[in-house]
């Protein structure tokens, strides 16, 4: 039983890492209906910038601040160069634009910071500790706490602040938001800034686990089943979806893997997502379109 618990907890904590990526997605999707394929590359770009600053000998916190500034600049540039010219275009066009953005960022990051793999030390040991007789990774616990804090912050931002309400309003109805004087451009910049900050957190945590390298941008692929499960518009959905994906893939690997020859961990989330699409296409917490007839 304690083995089961260990696998479950390891899975849940791995799931938190998926949630971190999915969160950035949800933010931009909620506010603009755009599926931002570049979210993973943004995380990579943030982690790479941060690592490069640190390797230049810059203090940890200053490097973090500089990275944050870079993400803010990125948000402004994206709004000006990508989003503004594409206002009123079909969403699929915007989605493709973000794929382009993702490729651009990857190349730009290489041109700027080089293409070698960097090690990232956040100063959190990855040694396991024992709670009762269950072994848990300290690093995973740290990631879990960070994610929880971020979600609490975002939940407060969305439900209690004027800007948060405006973001949700824009997500619901662009036109009506315009009609009451919410400037869409500011909102878009804002949401890309917030998504950029989420990308920093995701990038640093993932980077310190896997090393900062270009495969990091592929974590985006693990975010998709999370989003399908949790619902594209829901912040709690991103968290719960991440937890379910993380724990189920680990449990499947340990308990089902031996019967099919192992390696099930890599594709199990997508199977789960596919099955979920058939039953609940809008996800666990996604917005069901309210339609009055």
Partner 1 sequence: MSDQANIILSVNNIEVIYDHVILVLKGVSLEVPEGEIVALLGANGAGKSTTLKAISNLLKAERGDTTKGSIEFQGTRVEKLNPAELVKMGVVQVMEGRHCFEHLTIEENLLTGAYTRKGGRKVINESLEMVYEYFPRLKQRRGTMAGFTSGGEQQMAAIGRALMANPTMILLDEPSMGLAPMLVEEIFEIVKKLNEQEGVSVLLAEQNTNIALAYSNYGYIMENGRVVMDGSAKELGENEDVKEFYLGMSSEGRKSFRDAKHYKRRKRWL
Q: Please tell me whether residue 116 binds partner 1 under the rule CB under 8 A.
A: no
CB 28 within 8 A of CB 193: no
Element (H, E) at 195: helix 184-210
Q: Considering only CA atoms, which of 224, 233, 230 is closest in space to residue 289?
A: 233
Interface with partner 1 by CB under 8 A: which range of 43-51, 169-177, 194-202, 215-223? 169-177
Long-range contacts of 137-141 (CB under 8 A, 24+ apart): 137/10, 137/13, 139/208, 139/209, 140/10, 140/13, 140/14, 140/16, 141/13
| 176 sits near partner 1 (criterion: CB under 8 A) | yes
Q: Given candidates 14, 166, 190, 254, which one binds partner 1 under the rule CB under 8 A?
A: 166
57 near partner 1 (CB under 8 A): no
From 8-16, 75-83, 176-184, 201-209, span contacting partner 1 (CB under 8 A): 176-184
Answer yes or no whether residue 155 interacts with partner 1 by CB under 8 A: no
55 vs 172, beta carbon nearer partner 1: 172
Q: φ and ψ at 157, to 5 degrees?
A: -55, -45
Alpha-carbon distance of 238 to 283, in angstroms, equals 10
Largest Cα separation within the chain, whole Å, is 63
Cα gap 262→254, rounded to integer Å: 8
Residues 179-208 that bind partner 1 (CB under 8 A): 179-183
207 close to 201: Cβ distance less than 8 angstroms: no
Close Cβ partners of 75 (under 8 Å, ≥ 6 residues apart)? 189, 190, 192, 193, 195, 196
Distance, in Å, from the CA atom of 8 to the CA atom of 2, rounded to the nearest integer, reads 10
- Residue 135, H or E segment: strand 134-137
- Contact letters for partner 1, residues 7-46 (x by CB under 8 A): ----------------------------------------
**Per-position x/- string for 58-87, each x denoting binding to partner 1 as judged by CB under 8 A, each - no binding:** -----------------------------x
Residue 293 interacts with partner 1 (CB under 8 A): yes or no: no
- Cβ-based nearer residue to partner 1, 57 or 162: 162
CB of residue 277 vs partner 1: minimum separation in angstroms?
22
Residue with tokens 């570049």: 38
Q: Which one of 174, 194, 200, 245 is in contact with partner 1 (CB under 8 A)? A: 174
CB of 290 to partner 1, least distance (A): 3
- Choose the binding region for partner 1 from 33-41, 48-56, 161-169, 255-263 (rule: CB under 8 A): 161-169
Q: Which of 58, 141, 165, 209 forms a contact with partner 1 (CB under 8 A)? A: 165
Query: Could you say whether residue 169 binds partner 1 (CB under 8 A)?
Result: yes
Minimum distance, C-beta of residue 291 to partner 1, in the bound complex (Å): 8
- 161 contributes a contact to partner 1 by CB under 8 A: no
Per-residue DSSP letters for 40-98?
A: HHHHHHHHHHHHHHHHTT--HHHHHHHHHHHHHHHHHHIIIIIIGGGTTS-HHHHHHHH
Residues that bind partner 1 (CB under 8 A): 87-88, 162, 165-166, 168-169, 171-183, 287, 290, 292
């Amino acid at each position: 039983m304690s083995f089961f618990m260990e696998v479950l907890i390891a899975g849940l904590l791995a799931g938190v890492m998926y949630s971190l990526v999915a969160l950035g997605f949800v933010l931009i999707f909620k506010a603009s209906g755009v599926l931002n394929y570049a979210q993973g590359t943004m995380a990579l770009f943030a982690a790479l910038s941060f690592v490069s600053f640190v390797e230049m000998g810059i203090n940890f916190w200053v490097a973090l601040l500089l990275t944050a500034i870079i993400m803010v600049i990125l948000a402004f540039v994206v709004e000006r160069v990508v989003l503004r010219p594409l206002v009123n275009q079909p969403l699929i066009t915007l989605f493709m634009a973000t794929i382009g953005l993702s490729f651009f960022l990857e190349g730009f990051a290489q041109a700027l910071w080089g293409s070698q793999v960097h090690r990232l030390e956040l100063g959190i040991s990855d040694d396991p500790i024992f709670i009762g007789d269950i072994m848990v990774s300290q690093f995973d616990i740290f990631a879990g706490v960070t994610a929880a804090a971020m979600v609490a912050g975002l939940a407060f931002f969305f439900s209690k602040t004027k800007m948060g309400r405006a973001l949700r309003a824009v997500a619901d109805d662009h036109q009506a938001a315009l009609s009451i004087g919410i400037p869409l451009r500011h909102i878009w910049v804002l949401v890309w800034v917030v998504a950029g900050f989420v990308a920093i957190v995701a990038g640093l945590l993932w980077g310190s686990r896997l090393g900062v390298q270009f495969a990091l941008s592929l974590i985006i692929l693990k975010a998709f089943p999370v989003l399908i499960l949790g619902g594209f518009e829901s912040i709690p959905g991103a968290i719960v979806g991440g937890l379910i994906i993380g724990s189920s893939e680990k449990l499947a690997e340990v308990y089902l893997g031996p019967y099919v020859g192992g390696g099930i961990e890599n594709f199990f989330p997508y199977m789960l997502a596919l099955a979920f699409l058939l039953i609940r296409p809008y996800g666990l917490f996604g917005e069901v379109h309210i339609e009055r007839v």
